[in-house]
Structure 1
Amino acid sequence: MIELNLIDRYQARRTRQFLQQEETFRHWLPKWRTRRRRRVLVTALGVVFTAMIVLAVAFLFNTTVAPLLWVPLTFIFLPLWTSVQVVSGRQGDAPRDALDEWEIQQRNSARSIALTVTQTLVFIVAIFLIFTSTVGWNVERLAYSGGGMAITAMLIGACTPAMIIAWTQPDPEPGDTD
């Protein structure tokens, strides 16, 4: 009998949980699983991220109203993100043992792109913070702005694999939606 180490046991448990959740969510949002509708969700998520970036910059100028506008964006982001995850089959964060070879290749490619996106966005945020603190521009509000930008950069990076998969997946076969 082969004894599994801690990582193997964790991966097996994660795969079991993923497959159970997949069974639960398989029939959710059936009309939104077409490529066209998935792209609408991904575009809407992109619009929310753009608004978050604009608000993060606005934090430099207004720390009373701009943060209050962040709350509705969060309430818009959460169902959009959940919907993208559901309609893409959560393949962006699926464990290896729950996917076939083609799905693993797609997931790994999307994750690689997401890492590059995250690194680039966080680098831009760091340069922004260094520049604005060096010139002494609204330093008292810089933490709010930088924090908002950093959170947005991390959210974009975390959502990128599912967004790429949702955007590029072909329409499901007619028998798959039954």
Structure 2
Amino acid sequence: MDRTRIVRWLRVLFPLAALAILSVLFLLSRKPDPDAGVPYAEGGIEDLARHPGMTAPQFSTVTADGTTVTLTADRATPGEEGTAASNLALDWTTREGTAARLTAAVADQQGAQVTLQGDVDMTLSTGWHLTAPRIEADTAEGRLAAPHEVAVTAPFGTLTAGGMVLTRAAEGAQVLELNRGVHLIYRP
């Protein structure tokens, strides 16, 4: 036999052998168990249909001044007035590296405005810790504001104020402004 004849036979035999092996694999495979499927959602179908939402949503953006904003929550529910979220965490990091981590029980997002409510905690990378009943984050302007009373723990003492604004000043630095009746208890 010459080589060309052997190659011709192998061209026919190899695909037939592969087909035979695959056929045996399919014939000997197990039948699927429909009860062992992956659960897609917990809870009743009626409850899920009545209360639509997302589990573990995440939203990220960059403001006009280069601040990165990341929102994460346990659950988000869309509505006519905006999107409501529960157990929310907001990470706010400027180009210069100043970071703020905000946590809240409930939040609401309408466009570029995110409103955090329910004992909002804000921790700054500079060592400051703020608590407020409500903080509004404007991702379009790169601004955090608390319209109501704020309790602050700073490296040098404690402060209370009627409001707070964290924004970029004209010269480019981040400025934390406490306003409306600021009281300081200094601890050297």
The structure, 1 or 2, with the larger RCO (C-alpha pairs under 8 Å, 6+ apart) is 1
- Looking at secondary structure, tell me which structure has more strand per residue: 2
Q: What TM-score bracket applies, with the shorter chain setting the length?
A: under 0.3
TM score, norm. by length of structure 2: 0.20
Question: Which of the two has higher C-alpha Rg?
Answer: 2
Q: Which TM-score applies when normalising by structure 1?
A: 0.20
